[in-house]
Structure 1
């Protein structure tokens, strides 16, 4: 089934949706025992969305299906799980479960990478759990593993 979708810049009035997308971005190995939504209140997760839009490097694209926002990809300079330095924006992406597997995530990533390159950034980074299905997608759009810890790979996409 081919799903019709649009990718566009997220409006400031929609930034509250990042709470949902931050939760959706958490890789949950056990679908029968989900972590509580309150986990996103942890400071190490709040850095990705708190006061989003107030920093000069905050930028977000979203995917829309039937006039409903179903996914988001956003970047900001944070000291997060995938930080490599203080000048590289860190990448976050998520889609509601029903919309995964249709190429929407890959399309959102490619649009964000194009934006970052045009905006003059030399690279972007992210962290991904080693057993996360999204790892294949990150590799397919050009992210490279540059470091790892017990659970995660730190990945960078060089934009030049």
Structure 2
């Protein structure tokens, strides 16, 4: 597996990974790609990809994408779910279902964090549902809970 920078041509795969991130729980009725990309609260994670300050990575195995992670800055007027400040980008990450539990998420986190450090970014935020198994990965790699919602936590990692 390799992890490479995400570019403009990766929009379709990033959209697929956003859909995977939204539909992480098998207990929920699955939301369609069209619905995820049309809903303002999820569409803004990719609208206009890549914006000037966006950065991301894609994991590939044998030339096929298996996961993606990207960072986007939001404003207080149009925040993401894990918004903490305008100067702290929010992480979105998704892994193809058949590749989960195989180290892809950890590799993506390392790759996007390295890219962020290289751009002078000091912190990354995210929002994760408490029942999501990825929450344990975030804690294991140094993310800390800074806010609690009804079912989810906002987490930050200092790079």
* Global fold match (TM > 0.5): yes
TM-score (normalised: structure 2): 0.91
The 2-side partners of 1:103 and 1:43 are apart by: 31
Aligned to 2:43: 46
Q: Matched residue pairs, number?
A: 154
Find runs of 4+ consecutive structure 1 residues off by over 4 angstroms. Answer: none
Unpaired segments ≥5 residues, structure 2: none
Residue pair 1:125, 1:156 contacting (<8 A) in 2 also: yes
Of 31-40 and 124-133, deviating more is 31-40
Superposed counterparts of 1:95-114, under 5 Å: 95-114=95-114
Unpaired segments ≥5 residues, structure 1: none
State the superposition RMSD in angstroms: 1.4
Asked if 1:84 is matched to 2:81, the reply is: no
Residue pair 1:83, 1:90 contacting (<8 A) in 2 also: yes
Residue pair 1:22, 1:94 contacting (<8 A) in 2 also: yes
Residue pair 2:129, 2:153 contacting (<8 A) in 1 also: yes
Aligned to 2:143: 143
Aligned to 1:158: 158
Provide Cα deviations, 1:45-75, integer angstroms capped at 9, x if missing partner: 011001011x221011000111111110000
Of 11-20 and 127-136, deviating more is 11-20
The 2-side partners of 1:39 and 1:150 are apart by: 24
Which among 29, 38, 41 is matched to residue 25 of structure 2?
29
The 1-side partners of 2:47 and 2:95 are apart by: 19
Aligned to 1:70: 66
